[in-house]
Amino acid sequence: MDYKWGVKDPLENQYNSADSSYQYVNSRDSIILKKVPLNSDDILYIHSKANELGLWNFPDTIGTKSSKSMSIPRYDMFFKYKEKSKHVVVYGDFDGNPKLLDAAMQMRKIIEETLNQAEKRSGK
Predicted confidence band of residue 63 (pLDDT cuts 50, 70, 90): confident
What is the rounded average pLDDT of the residues 50-62?
A: 94
How high is the pLDDT of residue 24?
A: 94
Phi then psi for residue 98, to 5 deg, are: -65, -30
What is the rounded average pLDDT of the residues 45-71?
A: 86
Kindly report, residue by residue over 103-120, the tens digit of the pLDDT: 999 999 999 999 999 999
pLDDT for 65 beyond 80:
no
pLDDT for 99 beyond 80:
yes
Residue extents of the structural domains in the chain:
38-122
Mean pLDDT over the full length of the chain: 91
Sequence-ordered list of residues with C-beta below 8 angstroms from that of 32, at least 6 positions apart, any chain: 22, 23, 24, 25, 26
